[in-house]
Amino acid sequence: MTQNRKIIHIDMDAFFASVEQRDNPELRGKAIAVGFDGERGVVSTASYEARRFGVHSAMPIATAKRRCPDLIIVPVRHGYYEEVSHEIRKIFQEYTDLIEPLSIDEAFLDVTENKKDIPLAKDIAIAIKEEIKEKLHLTASAGVSYNKFLAKIASDYQKPDGLFVIHPDRALDFLSDLPVEDFWGVGPKTLQLMHRMGIYTGGQLRKVSRSHLREVFGKSGDIFYNFARGIDDRPVVTERVRKSVGCEQTFLEDISIPSKVIIELYHTVLELVDRIHGDGFEGHTLTLKIKYGDFTQITRSISGNKVLRRKDDILPLAKQLLHQVSYDANHPIRLLGLSVSNPNPQEDNDEPQWYEGWLDFE
């Protein structure tokens, strides 16, 4: 275990909502949600004032309004948020070039060797937070530790505008009392399995043998075994290889008539082909995602040796996957999505990618 690294995780606080409140004084201190204000709109980001009412990202706008009758809905401005994110990145680059973005509003920084020769990572995190607040009038939360796993947990620990350090000497004690649902990547289904095993805290997880964790969770068992011991030796990766290209469509009304579903599938294939050409992506696996009117979700995938880049390659496979899906008037489709992945099928790529819920099982 490498404990001499200095890793910072920076997470912008309610990023989209905070940008909107910064730019519009009339929104400050009020409950707002950024998203599409329509029947099928969902919340992209909620301000902390709205979160007090239980409003959160990915929640249907209609539900958010019921929970918070005075909620103000603000349209999404993705291009503008990208510009602000670029300004934040410039601040990071004043301290290190080892930056691994996770999304538009969060990133890892390896400051073991930093451009300003600041000895303590905590002081670098403080400086970055202060510079973001001074230059951009936004707040960020920072986590500091000796690896990415712990730094990520630390950044979530005292939000908003927080700073938390997990020192190597205190990591095991900290993890012992930490609920397993707070472990980065543990989603609802994984949590349910752990609870069935009597695992509720990191300390209890640490008592389970590696072999038993492998038996229950497969290769992810090794990851859980290491996490419980504060082990994560992966470096901060400055350039991430794109793993997939996809698109999806939420319908204004649920659909169940086969001809309508085929038409929407066709349009989704055309959009996917455009994105593939725009990104120059080459993948070998096609995945169909279906979300039903009751918000349950399934995926179906098919792989081959042929690169999927043209409509004539993708549409037949998409139809084949659709035939594996059942739907009717009592179980209509709310959302349909397609993605192409698996750029290097010959590679045995066991390295997990760090996204929320990546350990959760289908």
Q: Would you please indicate which residues are annotated as catalytic (active-site) residues? A: 106
**Burial letters 11-46, b for 16+ CB under 10 A, else e:** bbbbbbbbbbbeeeeebeeebbbbbeeeebbbbbbb
**Which amino acid is present at 244?**
S
| Cα→Cα distances 20→80, 137, 163, Å | 10, 11, 23
Please, what is the Cα angle at 186 between 184 and 192, to 5 degrees? 155
Alpha helices in the chain (DSSP H): 15-23, 48-51, 61-67, 78-93, 121-136, 148-155, 171-177, 188-196, 202-206, 210-217, 220-228, 258-279, 311-322
**Which amino acid is present at 337?**
G
Q: Other CB atoms closer than 10 Å to residue 294's CB: what's the count?
A: 10
Q: Measured between alpha carbons, how far is 8 from 138 in angstroms, rounded to an integer?
A: 18
Q: Other CB atoms closer than 10 Å to residue 222's CB: what's the count?
A: 15
